[in-house]
Structure 1
Amino acid sequence: MTNVSELIFRQITPADFFNINKQPGAEALGGGQSYIDVPVKNVALPTWHSFFDGIQPVAKTNGPVWTVEINSLGGLGSQQVSIGQRREASVNIRSQKLFSRSSNRIYAWHPDHGGFPRAPVDMSSAEDPRVIELTAGVRVFILKTEEDEYWAGWLKTEEIERLSAIDQRFETMLTEPAGHLSFDPEIELNLASLKDPFGVQPHSVEVAEEDVAGNAGTPNKKAPYNAKTGRSEEAIAAELFQDDSSSEDVKKTQKVIETFERNRKAVRDLKKLYKTCQITGNDFIFSKVNGEPYLEVHHLVPLGEGGSDNPTNLVVISAHIHRMLHYAVVEGMDLAKIVDGKLDFTINGEGFTITWLPEHAKVIADAGGATV
């Protein structure tokens, strides 16, 4: 056991996940993104200098680059990792692309070592529903101990919610896409555990969060991440239209993708069987150009958490409901409580019901149900 003094985190987006897990050949003109960016509006450059105090950075054209020994929680080992400013707007953790000759994926964030979500080999884009499922609520972090050692790990939303219920200093991890936490008093860290590393004692301490310029603000409890209330139109416009795009021309590429026919067949057959959303009926359903209803299929237990592609784990829903299940607060999704082919649950506190056809409900019941 040791104590944690500081922590920097980053929420993994579908785009991050897709880019750092592309298979070889997916990029016709290069390997694509190989880093995980942390915006300086969330973690200011002076904060990085303080976080890596004692490590002399190398001055590069775009800014400082630190070479840091990163230990991975759970006894997964240590490695030298380059972390530095790639452009004015961000600091990045480098060489995180999995399928690359220069890959140096942090062990704790590696699917073969740290149990990090594994990407489907046939994923086609960041909009792939499976990618969205796998990244939902995933936060990676690097922390600093009282001995000035650096350790990496990752947590999901539900684990952070449990921590923040005991120590509210973790709430920022739920409300921001990236950030820096400073712990005073420090908290205990179990170096041997990747999934439950924090020996948290109850505190009533509120942390002053950095504002967009990296300055200390006043303690407050923020709205959930992506809730943009309270920002002026000018601030939104300034962020939205900042010059943060590549000057390179958009290139058109052609890719050949192998798919798992078994999965596709289950999806196709379920859509033909239901023809409407199992939750809202015809609400939010529109017709495609061929006249067929547009529907999507959702994995009740995410693939990255051991969910399967067979009908016991699939429901047919509208695109609108699909996004709500991924991004809103979903409670009561216990398949063991299906009664007469129906299950009541809530999305953001509002009641909804999934309705299964009798033969579909029987398959789920025979499988023993599951709690999502």
Structure 2
Amino acid sequence: MEKVKSIVYRCLTNADFFNINKPPGMESGGGGQAYIDFPTSTVSLEQWSNFFSGVNEVKIQQETQGPSWTFPIYSLKLDKANDLASQELKIYQRRPQSVSITSQKLLSSRSNRVRAWHPDAGFPVPIDNTDRTQCPAGLIVYLVTTDAHKVWAGWFLNDGTTLLPIKGIPPKSINSMFLSIEGNSGIINFRDNDNIYINSADKNYPLQSHGEETYISAISNPINDESNFIDTLFNNDSSSRNVFTKEYLNMIRVRNKSLVNNLKRVYDNTCQITGKEFAFQKKDGIDYTEAHHLIPLGEGGSDEISNLIVVNPLIHRMLHHAEVEGIDLKNIKVDSNGYGHLTIKINKKQYTITWSPEHLASIHR
């Protein structure tokens, strides 16, 4: 693994996506856009220069409009054998307002599409190349520099159902990328103690956070034990109201709420144990669910997707306070459709936890 120094990202617009995928001959005056722009208002030339500082084999030149950087780039989300090979990529100031990645039009004879952003690597493709509206919302491409002096490329589709491509508890700074909206771009420079790493061998979670746990301090209140506080903090109601009106125990870790919200969307806010049974709707019409840690945080459990399930509040309380048997992820059975099932007992009554294939992929059994 390589430690991440900086990430530059861009959330593609419908027009970006359409133009870099459209067939040749659709433009009367030429081939049309073949680049991905990063506005200098969000990533300045000085920031680009710092981004490439120390990168192996980078070639810096002065073009008509401004500087260019040509360098070897490595791709995430590929088979391991292909990860080892790099390709040469050029980024340059195409006009005063933007810095551009060149030759990204897929169906051009001069295409140099970054391999991580190629359909062969799972990168989204238009359903209909003549329809601009088919671009998935929240399609983010990013470049990463590491302490190994390399540049890596990756992508993330924030469609409301996809799990975040990062393990561990990420620093808050990375949320600006994951929660980016169409057209947004930016740069994130990580501190030494952020401990964000690239793991090119992990296609589902290429980014990994090995940072120290983050805590908040409060005055100890004997009325509330730790499990009650965790229940309140991690029930993850999406309401914007601040419900934390009491003082709680010291040293309770803070987690990335967006990670759980994404997991809830994977299950359409439905309990993984009882489905719609015991469900009730909030005022916004969405079923209320909570996130449960299979191995409690106080017992060394992780705050990763692999240790979380989506449950209704009744089951959540039962899992915390009743007698629970059979929580052993090694015993998950996978059916022909890729869904995982684990039989457990709560107060001697049998229940089954069900995982979607996408969620199940995060679990190392």
TM-score (norm 2): 0.54
Show CA shifts across 1:18-45 (max 9, x none): 0000012222321111001111111111
Give the superposition deviation at 1:66: 0.9
In 2, Cα distance between the equivalents of 1:101 and 1:344? 56
One-letter amino acid of the structure 1 residue matched with residue 68 of structure 2 = V
**Corresponding position: 1:333 with 2:268:** yes
- In structure 1, the partner of 2:61 is 58
Give the 3-state SS of the residue equivalent to 1:333 in structure 2. Answer: coil
1:124 aligns with 2:130: yes
Task: Report the CA distance shift for 1:193/1:331 in structure 2 as closer, same or farther (over 3 A).
Answer: closer
Asked if structure 2 preserves the Cα contact closer than 8 Å seen for 1:167 and 1:201, the reply is no
Give the residue type in structure 2 aligned to 1:333.
Answer: D
Counterpart of 1:143? Answer: 144
Measured after TM superposition, the shift of residue 201 of structure 1 is 2.4
Q: Which amino acid aligns with 2:27?
A: E
Q: Does 1:67 align with 2:1?
A: no
Q: Within 5 Å, which residues of 2 pair with 1:209-288? A: none
Aligned partner letter, 2:117: W
Determine helix, strand or coil for the equivalent of 1:57.
strand
Deviation at 1:197, TM superposition (A): 0.9
Contact kept, 8 Å, 2:21 with 2:129, in 1: the verdict is: no
Task: Give yes or no for contact 1:57–1:65 (8 Å, CA) kept in 2.
Answer: yes
Distance in structure 2 (CA, Å) of the matches to 1:61 and 1:119? 34
CA contact (8 A) 2:196 2:211 kept: no
Give secondary structure in 2 for the equivalent of 1:28. coil
Matched, 1:83 2:91: yes
Q: Say yes or no: does 1:200 pair with 2:209.
A: yes
> Does the residue aligned with 2:148 lie in a helix, a strand or coil?
coil
**Alpha-carbon distance in 2 for matches of 1:15, 1:164:** 34
The answer on whether the counterparts of 1:143 and 1:151 sit within 8 Å (CA) in structure 2 is: yes
2:171 alignment partner, one of 167, 174, 192: 167
Cα deviation for residue 188 of structure 1 reads: 2.0
Measure the CA separation in 2 of the matches of 1:189 and 1:168.
18
Q: Any idea what SS the aligned residue of 2:18 has?
A: helix
CA distance in 2, matches of 1:352, 1:53: 48
Give unpaired runs (5+ residues) of structure 2: 215-263, 288-336, 340-354, 359-365
Aligned AA (1:83): I
Structure 1 partner of 2:222: none
Q: How far has the Cα of 1:155 moved from its partner?
A: 1.6
Contact 2:167 2:205 in 1 (8 A): no
Deviation at 1:161, TM superposition (A): 8.2
Aligned to 2:106: 98
Q: Distance in 2 between matches of 1:148 and 1:98?
A: 28
Offset from partner CA, 1:196-226 (integer Å, 9 cap, x none):
1122124578xxxxxxxxxxxxxxxxxxxxx
User: Match for 2:185 among 178, 190, 194?
Assistant: 178
Say if 2:8 and 2:185, in contact at 8 Å, map to a contact too: yes
Query: 1:41-91 deviations in whole A, cap 9, x for unaligned?
Result: 111110001111243421111111111110112333310011011111111
After TM superposition, what 4+ stretches of structure 1 lie above 6 angstroms from structure 2? 334-339, 343-346, 369-372
The change in CA–CA distance for 1:188 and 1:88 in structure 2 (over 3 A counts) is: same
Q: Map Cα deviations across residues 85-131 of structure 1 (whole Å, 9 max, x no partner).
A: 1111111111000000100000000002x1101223x33232x2x32
CA contact (8 A) 1:168 1:204 kept: no
Change (3 A) 1:105 1:23: same
SS at match of 2:119: coil
Q: What SS class does the counterpart of residue 350 from structure 1 fall into?
A: coil
Q: C-alpha separation between the residues in 1 aligned to 2:95 and 2:62? A: 13
CA RMSD of aligned residues (A): 3.4
Structure 2 counterpart of 1:43, one-letter code? V
**SS of the residue aligned with 1:22?**
coil
Q: Which runs of 5+ in 1 are unaligned?
A: 206-328, 354-366
- Partners of 1:165 and 1:159 lie apart in 2 by 14
In 2, the alpha carbon distance for the partners of 1:62 and 1:164 equals: 42
What TM-score results when the alignment is normalised by the length of structure 1? Answer: 0.53
SS of match in other structure, 2:190: strand
Alignment-derived partner of residue 27 in structure 1: 27
Distance (Å, rounded) in 2 between the aligned partners of 1:195 and 1:86: 34
- Secondary structure of the equivalent of 1:351? coil
**CA 1:138–1:204: 2 relative to 1, 3 Å:** farther
